[in-house]
Structure 1
């Protein structure tokens, strides 16, 4: 009863309101909200380009995307994971705090998942901002200034990343209020443009049938084979950050905003699919290198606005993992997995925190990534591999939470078997990224986990020595 009372009190600190929902849109959904810019592009490229697009491909690939978002983000994270909070805080370390009494070995998946998520959090700002600045080249006036000199892109990217990390000290609430209206406009733009093309080709709604996706996955016309799941997985990479950011915005505000966000995302995907079915035979599209349906389907007069808005949205996408990293490190420090650091609370609302050391380390890491990889194509090759490890570790810990804490008997076994198998497929399909840049995030995750292991073992030895001192040692 006392535990339930504490949980209720923690959630009451961040009530559901229009203001809090606006903060949620600006803080939580940046990563997953920008996925329509590159998921369909990756699917088409992986299948052999626009010349290989058929109705079977469009409906099958879209079905895989729709059900990936539904199963992983909606069911696993929004409906199940958000219920597993530690006094209002979310994320894999908060989840471990709830189940650590179930077995000492559970510290291993907790450290592995946390390290992988933090490593992915260092990469995300670099890849999203670089992609956004490179996208501005599609506007002739901007291309005249930037040209093809990648050094200018790198310089602008570094300036934006430095500015993004410098504003973190003002707090999540103020950042969310600034970013919220922009992200609301972004999601309305996604949903509106997608709905326009869905009306033109309503047959695209057949992708909502999961049988279409399974049939295409096994079809000989699927040129990518199981590796197509690696592109589909990009549609849900922000789900883990959503869980980690719960302490900043409150569970109720995520519940209130996710239906709107999901509808807009799915409409955007289906709109791009409808455009592909209408234009697959267009000979003018065959000569476009690196074709991106998200931009190509828009009227020429609307495209500069879309590029500008998507650039701002891509920059905001970094916010979800930055704030998630603050929550993760805060929880890790309480568990003696990381050194105790100075924490600032920029607002009176529970969950609003800022850790200067984490902010500075992530800034340095992002700068190194930009200077090392130079362009987004190299960075995207490393993107998404580490996060599959985090999702599998979260599934394992959620099994113990449902089985031991919630006292469910059969459901946890079904949950674990289904999601571990599903995420295992995504992990295998993402392994092709390892030698193309994925090794970098894996190395960063290994470095972060090494720090956790050393600190945890060191503090464990210190605790044992402290408890073994004779009673007279404490007397004057």
Structure 2
């Protein structure tokens, strides 16, 4: 039996959808004006060392980066690569993985890099926003350039941000859209006020100035200036990942307004810089940030508060995105199971305590270690270039799968791959200025993914199974044997292998040998995570009996694995169809109860010492089992916290076993 409960998550184009898109999708890219021009000017030696052609060229590079990567690659092309409305690198992988098992490699690398680089976003955006307080005379007169107070305020905001995750963000989340709409409007207006004083900066829309800057002697960084320019588009990958929240129509309809506001702000910063770059008073400002300095003094406080709120919203989007990314990786069996909590009414809103704790610790350490936004900017963006490259590779296979001519798919891949490779090379210098933090985290995540996936492959290749049909008669006899105490009315085994003719030897051993388990019905349940995000289906095979039920659950990678709830439904379905006898209970709190009690058996595996594996394979399996012990229990993962669960340890025997034989020692009498 199959029950299809797929839900279409394609969002229609609506005013509400446009607002949600602004609140959820554009947080990262929308806070880039806080630090992009600041980083470009600062790394070139400050206002004293920038020329008019340098500033025009810098804005030109920003404009064309946003146009080519964000607009063309992601908004126009990548948003079409949706998996039932869901986006992101793991969703893209599920669309193309039939093209080859090796495609798991770019998916793992891209996912790990995206998670790693994301930990810098709250630190960079919040610190930059708080540093804007120095532009307020009252604050500056009291604290001056004392960075300690900036660090303390930033740490407090980050602590509050991560502390509230457990309660969900339904209430405040509804306000994100209007706030971010106001923020982007504010960006555009501030830019227009300054841009209106020097219309000549419109020259920046000509790509000539972008190319000229890369070859200009005024550019002291050479090609490495692109490492800072790239910060303007780091939110593009998040835009694709958040596709499922609002749908591509709302993203595409809202992006032109977002882009116009962003470009106006960058043009405004450029015009302001050109207007004051020879002003002695301005040249004396330490850690100058054009974004704040171009604001009129009368609204500076409003600007700082606004920027801080926008930074918090951007950070919230990053945190939620990290939870989603980790959840997808877990359900695709790329990461060990972690406890997932759904604090809101929407299943799309989740909270993963372990991930939340890790993000908070790393973000806080980054703020404490790097202290200033300038140092953080130097470390930011390296890993995300890797993610973009991996997405480009997977997009090529998607285009080929959809029937695009090979030359078109290859040309698109070559075009974007070349540009992103240049950005990657230009960002390599960041490694020595703090980029090693994101790279280190990415490698750590990738190592865990590799161990998990490699362990899965080893186990699948050498799993020890037996034909279930050979034991049907023994199970029937055990069920009817009054000399064996009844364990439970229903005994449920969670099986690691897909339901079929074969079943794990350890399960039959548990029922018949370890301690015979007499029950009315023996259930064998396996969960398969589908390539589609919201699938809720099942099939049943009772092997022509009324006491063996093999259940194959098909759950999308966005669906919680609440096995207890699903089994209860299946029991009622089978009884209603007459395929499963009713189980009347003599003693029950509920009169007329027709479903008996359940016991869930979860088998805990220990690698057997007699298993003969290659050295690396054994170490991988030992590492996997060690990690597994330190993550959430199967009981929590399968939603069995309030069910009767029994754990049994069995030796995990993979492949060949070492043959040993004792020789009897003859004792002379």
Q: Normalising by the residue count of structure 2, what TM-score does the alignment of the two structures yield?
A: 0.66
2:79 pairs with 1:77: no
Give CA deviations for 1:439-469 in whole Å, capped at 9, x if unaligned.
Answer: 1111110001111111112223333344x51
- Note if contact 1:10-1:88 (Cα within 8 Å) is conserved in structure 2: yes
Structure 1 residues 373, 282: closer, same or farther in 2, change over 3 A?
closer
Residue in structure 2 matched with residue 440 of structure 1 by the alignment: 437
2:9 pairs with 1:11: yes
Q: For 1:294, which of 288, 291, 294 is the aligned residue?
A: 291
2:279 pairs with 1:265: no
Residue in structure 1 matched with residue 139 of structure 2 by the alignment: 142
Q: For 2:245, which of 227, 245, 248 is the aligned residue?
A: 248
Counterparts of 1:404-423 in structure 2, within 5 Å, are 404-423=401-420
Aligned-pair CA distance for 1:426: 0.9
Residue in structure 2 matched with residue 471 of structure 1 by the alignment: 467
Aligned-pair CA distance for 1:225: 0.9
Give CA deviations for 1:189-237 in whole Å, capped at 9, x if unaligned.
Answer: 1101111222221111111111221122122332221111111101011
Q: For 2:84, which of 76, 80, 87 is the aligned residue?
A: 87
More helix by share: 1
Q: Which stretch of the first structure deviates more once superposed, 76-85 or 212-221?
A: 212-221
Q: What RMSD over aligned residues (CA atoms) do the two structures have, in Å?
A: 2.4
- Note if contact 1:99-1:405 (Cα within 8 Å) is conserved in structure 2: no
Residue in structure 1 matched with residue 628 of structure 2 by the alignment: none
Relative contact order (alpha carbons < 8 A, sep ≥ 6): 1 or 2 greater? Answer: 1
Residue in structure 2 matched with residue 460 of structure 1 by the alignment: 457
Residue in structure 1 matched with residue 558 of structure 2 by the alignment: none
Paired residues in the alignment total 469
- Note if contact 1:245-1:327 (Cα within 8 Å) is conserved in structure 2: no
- Note if contact 2:135-2:292 (Cα within 8 Å) is conserved in structure 1: no
Residue in structure 2 matched with residue 180 of structure 1 by the alignment: 177
Counterparts of 1:41-440 in structure 2, within 5 Å, are 41-143=38-140, 150-171=147-168, 173-346=170-343, 351-440=348-437
Q: Normalising by the residue count of structure 1, what TM-score does the alignment of the two structures yield?
A: 0.91
Aligned-pair CA distance for 1:185: 1.5
CA distance in 2: counterparts of 1:299 and 1:156, whole angstroms: 24
- Note if contact 2:230-2:423 (Cα within 8 Å) is conserved in structure 1: yes
Residue in structure 1 matched with residue 36 of structure 2 by the alignment: 39
Structure 1 residues 129, 277: closer, same or farther in 2, change over 3 A?
closer
Aligned-pair CA distance for 1:419: 1.1
The structure with more radius of gyration? 2
CA distance in 2: counterparts of 1:50 and 1:333, whole angstroms: 48
- Note if contact 2:185-2:261 (Cα within 8 Å) is conserved in structure 1: yes
- Note if contact 2:27-2:314 (Cα within 8 Å) is conserved in structure 1: yes
Q: Which stretch of the first structure deviates more once superposed, 441-450 or 38-47?
A: 38-47
CA distance in 1: counterparts of 2:330 and 2:79, whole angstroms: 21
Listed as ranges, the gaps of 5+ residues in structure 1 are: none
Give CA deviations for 1:331-386 in whole Å, capped at 9, x if unaligned.
Answer: 21221101233444455657444433332332233233334434433332221111
Residue in structure 1 matched with residue 23 of structure 2 by the alignment: 26
- Structure 2 counterpart SS, 1:288: coil
